[in-house]
Amino acid sequence: MEELIVDRRVEDERSLIKTPSDVQADNQEHDSPTSTRQKRSVQHGSPCFVYTLAFFSALGGFLFGYDTGVVSGAMLLLKREMNLSSLWQELLVSITVGAAAISSLAGGYLNGLYGRRICILLASFIFSAGGIILSVAHNKEVLLCGRLTVGLGIGIASMTVPVYIAEVSPSELRGQLVTINTLFITGGQFVASVVDGAFSYLPHDGWRYMLGLSVVPAALQFLGFLFLPESPRWLLQKGDTQNARLVLSRIRGGVNVDEEYESIRSSIEEEKIDAGEGPVLWRILTFAPARRALIVGCGLQMFQQLSGINTVMYYSATILQMSGVQDDQMAIWLAAATAFTNFLFTLVGVWLVERVGRRKLTLGSILGTAASLMVLAAGFLLSAQASPPVTFHPNDPSLHNSTCITYGFCESCMLNPDCGFCYGKNGTAVVESSCMPVDTANTEAAAAGRCSNGTQESLGVFWAYNYCPTSYSWIVLLGLVLYLAFFAPGMGPMPWTVNSEIYPLWARSTGNACSAGVNWICNVLVSLTFLHVAQYLTYYGAFFLYSGLALLGFVFVVGCLPETKGLRLEEIESLFGRQLCSCGAGGSRSVLYTRVNGGNYRSDEDVTDDE
């Protein structure tokens, strides 16, 4: 037992500081009735109801994944049927993410005011409306309106669902259940890619089914939530003590919830002291523990997106084409395989999160992500160095003004979005290659010459847009698989999971709104800048850059992310009581404040006298 140090940290408030492991040990030793009760509640079937709640809420995650994933396949058909310019294509893709960024920020306010349940009902209603608008759209303006609507739904769902699941879950299942939401996101992306593949064979209106099908899970969620309860923590915060106790007992399978109820209630009472006056965001910024939590939450979301997940996913079809897949339909199905890999490894995260904890999982994941990005970059670098030269200059007068014919190598040709590489093969060697302008209506073919009908294997003519034929494609493919295997269990789900648990109740809606907003803003930034970054730095430069950013993220996580596994939501806030860059340090240096009757005690370990 180490010595007890008294330290006044927060006025009118006393805390006992312990390491998280001490607290977990204490929980086991001294709170054994609680743990037994929780375990008992697990056996008494409460998880059944909690799983039902998690399932219906995570449909929000499914819709997030489906609606962000389905658009790439739908766009292939839409651009032909509606004759969309590349500006309109970009608009239709990015308006959803932009709207999600705005509505996730607004979602914080709505959550605080109307509660989690109303927000989830609102999001599923908006999803249904968006799906209907998209499926009946008869022009691009209506499509834009539908994509905007869907984005509003995604933003609200993305910040509300993890909070709701975290608040209704018992602490020993919380990590796993919130991570299931990300499993549903990646599941939604996978289902979207399968639906894209299936309806891409329809000559007309295939996109209506692709975009409209989201109404089914949205309506299911809406109906489900008409019967599901509000978060007991939100009810208690609003002073609805009777309903809060009823809901808590219902969620815990009817067992005695006195202790859990009391602990939430007393923590809300004490939070009133922390919370101070003024708008919530201001109070977060001026109250050190909440401010630190916000920095950690936003930082994690930022590094998730800066690690380039959406670029890698989006670019996977091209990566696979580089590996020799020439057939477009085949590329669509292989992109579905990529989405499936992402889903599968997120499942590994669900399995690991309560076993190894959030911190170790995130650390291992981000380090592996950085290493895989280097493998990807090395593959691109070798391909660029071995880039085939342009050997054939067609004598077509219509090409004289084109910049494409000025390039000497495939690498520089393919980095210009207006050009593509047209070539023949002699065994595995590239022959008679030229850089040609791309058909603006259909990037799968050149605007003129041999490749104006795209790749025609039977004629020995190949068209490469966005990539170059290379024998190093296996390294790139290896990098892609490693990337997903490392990213999906940790960096994919942990930013959402950790954010759902690190804020005190008074700051939870706003904290999650801000961090989700950061996620969406960085998502837009990375996807909109990727092509420009690739043009300036080349592909390998871009992936080396993402790798460097992931390494920075690693340093951030080492310094700042404390372990929250097994702790009650009410206990987690105190992990942020110390200077930020030590709160993530090993168990012995992490501190936990336990409030005791208005006192502010602090100890390194093993303090059990909660009075």
Ligand X SMILES: O[C@H]1[C@H](O)[C@@H](O)[C@H](O)[C@@H](O)[C@H]1O
Distance (Å, whole) CA 134 – CA 548: 39
297 binds ligand X (CB under 6 A): no
Q: Binding segment for ligand X among 28-36, 100-108, 223-231, 304-312 (CB under 6 A)? A: 304-312
Number of residues that bind ligand X (CB under 6 A): 12
Contacts of 180 (CB under 8 A, 6+ apart): 54, 58, 165, 350
User: At its nearest, how many Å lie between ligand X and the CB of residue 492?
Assistant: 3
Q: How far is CA 555 from CA 362, 515, 518, 549, in A?
A: 11, 19, 19, 10
Contact assessment for residue 535 and residue 376, using Cβ atoms and an 8 Å cutoff = no
Q: Which stretch binds ligand X (CB under 6 A): 125-133, 182-190, 290-298, 548-556?
A: 182-190
The reply on whether position 566 binds ligand X by CB under 6 A is no
Pattern 184-203, ligand X, x by CB under 6 A: -xx--x--------------
Closer by beta carbon to ligand X, 104 or else 186: 186
Helix axes 473-487, 309-322, angle to 10 degrees: 150
Q: Does 342 bind ligand X (CB under 6 A)?
A: yes
Stretch that binds ligand X, among 183-191, 285-293, 505-513, 545-553 (CB under 6 A): 183-191
* Interaction between residue 182 and ligand X (CB under 6 A): yes
Strand order in the sheet with 419-426: 429-437, 419-426, 462-464
The residue within the footprint of ligand X, chosen from 57, 128, 249, 310 (CB under 6 A), is: 310
| Minimal distance, residue 504 CB to ligand X, in Å | 24
Binding track over 344-373 against ligand X, x by CB under 6 A: ------------------------------
How remote is the C-alpha of 384 from its chain's centroid?
Answer: 31
504 SS3 class:
coil
Give the residue closest to ligand X by C-beta.
492
Segment contacting ligand X by CB under 6 A, of 83-91, 141-149, 302-310, 531-539 = 302-310
Return the number of the residue (421 or 546) whose C-beta is nearest ligand X.
546
> How big is the chain, counted in residues?
611
Nearer to ligand X, 182 or 193 (CB): 182
Sign of CA dihedral 561, 564, 569, 573: negative
Quick one: tokens of 598? 């208005």
Give me the 261-290 binding string for ligand X, x by CB under 6 A, dash otherwise.
------------------------------
The 503-542 site mask, x for binding ligand X (CB under 6 A), equals ----------------x---x-------------------
Q: Which of residues 467-506 bind ligand X (CB under 6 A)?
A: 492-493
Provide the minimum distance between the beta carbon of 280 and ligand X in the complex, in angstroms, as a whole number.
24
Amino acid identity at 191? V
Q: Count Cβ atoms within 10 A of the Cβ of residue 498 and give its class: 0-12 exposed, 13-18 middle, 19 or more buried.
A: buried
Q: What separation in angstroms does the CA of 283 have from each of 51, 200, 271, 299? A: 34, 51, 12, 19
183 touches ligand X (CB under 6 A): no
Residue in 604, 314, 326 with CA at minimum distance from that of residue 459: 326
Site for ligand X contains 309 (CB under 6 A): yes
- Tokens encoding 166: 């975290």
- What is d(CA 508, CA 487) in angstroms, rounded to the nearest whole number? 26
Residue nearer to ligand X on the CB measure, 93 or 384: 93
Q: Which two tokens stand for residue 91?
A: 């608009």
Give, as ranges, the residues between 87 and 146 that touch ligand X (CB under 6 A): none
SS3 10: coil
Residues that bind ligand X (CB under 6 A): 182, 185-186, 189, 304, 309-310, 342, 492-493, 519, 523
